Amino acid sequence: MSTHEAGISGELRRFLRGGVSLEEHKEATAQTPITTFIPAEVTIPLAQHLGPPAQAIVKRKQVVQRGELIATAEPNGAPVHASVTGTVARVALSPHPTLTEAPAIVITVDPNAAAPQCTDDPAWATLPRDVMLARIEAAGIVGLGGAAFPTYRKLRLPDGVRVDTVVLNGAECEPYLTSDHRLMLESPKDVLRGAWLLAQIIGAQRVVIGVEDNKSDAAVVLQAAVEQLSLSPAPDVLLCRTRYPQGAERQLVEALTGRRIPARGLPLQVGVLVQNVATAIACYQAVRYQQPLLDRVLTVTGPGIGHPMNLRVPIGTLVQDIVAHCGGLDARTAMVIAGGPMMGRALGRLDVPVIKGTGGLLFLRVDDVQREPYGPCISCAACLDACPLGLEPNQISIYTEAGRALETESFGTRECFECGCCAYVCPAERPLVQFIQIAKAAFQTGSAIGLGVRPGVVHG
């Protein structure tokens, strides 16, 4: 069925400034259904979200059930639950994908354990808002689009703030990732129920789901589910032009609602709350079944992995176990990225776990990675045209290179959300995002001393 036959408007929504058209690499996994992999052992970090890490309440040799609380939340934090049934092997410092090393609970999986049954609450849709919110908080849900901000904090609106629209982010604009695409295709009703639930909690009158037009099949499936569920308010499924970074909050809100978020502002300031489709599903499962966030659906892909897949794995699954499950590495693999190539983070080792914010693993070969030295800025202004915020990454890089990072605020250092459009179009292949990160670090420390960089350095 086409989007026209499904009743979806043919108008492609778009943001107005900058952005880039990326080469697509989704074909390896876009039509690959989500499958489940359970390793022999999981390593569950206590720090997986923005905010203070959780505090472990289990000890070595303790038997735990899948879904059991194993670490309590600190104020403004999120709790952590056992993602498998098994025995605690140790609570100790372990390799971490973003913190180098951090405390974690290692659980040896009981392969014979029966899956715990979740209790269906038939009255879930009529629960008071504070009960819905409490269940989301207890489930340890964080933003699954990558930010990992505790969801209950985002849903607890400040006094005096009114939000009339929930925007559900189904753009998935990173060029290799397809896990959100598969979730929309395989669980459209859960996506819609989750979106409706979020609107009930914050009192929004409208729900809009934005899907890029390279995933029009998902839009068709969602629209069919809209008509079957008869939710009120009925979500609007809208197609967006495929253009990076369409999935960024600021760009998605502008494309779908026409509202522009102020510089360094939040969607709440224009009456909008944005959540990822995977987060919406997790919220629905938490409220209806009181199910904690236990698994992560992620795309494992790239020319450096044997068998690209969309996988559902227990949180805490080690990357090295996923590599083995997916057919191992190509001998020429040179880089592993947690996330997509534009905003992901390179991993220095494979014995790190999947955490709540991990949406993909990308394996690139040596030929796929830039290894040539970057050159000086040639003042072509390509980065100015590409920046979706109208910032000046060229000037930030020049000043930072000269040891003057603290003088870059007027060029937009603090506003940048590091989408990578500037570096993507730079003909001199300058690592502009890294320059901006260095400048941000200078603002945090109040000093640019020790942050010197030189042109011509090999990067990649």
Q: Which of 459, 423, 376, 141 has its CA nearest to residue 282?
A: 141
pLDDT in tens, the chain (460 residues): 778 777 777 789 999 999 999 998 999 999 999 999 999 999 999 999 888 999 999 999 999 999 999 999 999 999 999 999 999 999 999 999 988 899 999 999 999 998 888 899 999 999 999 999 999 999 999 999 877 899 999 999 999 999 999 999 999 999 999 999 999 999 999 999 999 999 999 999 999 999 999 999 999 999 999 999 989 989 999 999 999 999 999 999 999 999 999 988 999 999 999 999 999 999 999 999 999 999 999 999 999 999 999 999 999 999 999 999 999 999 999 999 999 999 999 999 999 999 999 999 999 999 988 778 899 999 999 999 999 999 999 999 999 999 999 999 999 999 999 999 999 999 999 999 999 999 999 998 887 654 555 544 444 3
Rounded to an integer, what distance in angstroms lies between the CA atom of residue 72 and that of residue 378? Answer: 53
Rounded to an integer, what distance in angstroms lies between the CA atom of residue 292 and that of residue 183? Answer: 18
Angle of helix 432-445 versus helix 393-401 axis, rounded to 10? 60
Question: Could you tell me if 103 and 53 are in contact, meaning their C-beta atoms sit under 8 angstroms apart?
Answer: yes
Does the N-terminal peptide bond of residue 233 adopt cis geometry, omega within 30 degrees of 0?
Answer: yes
Q: Which residues pair with 211 in a beta bridge?
A: 170, 239
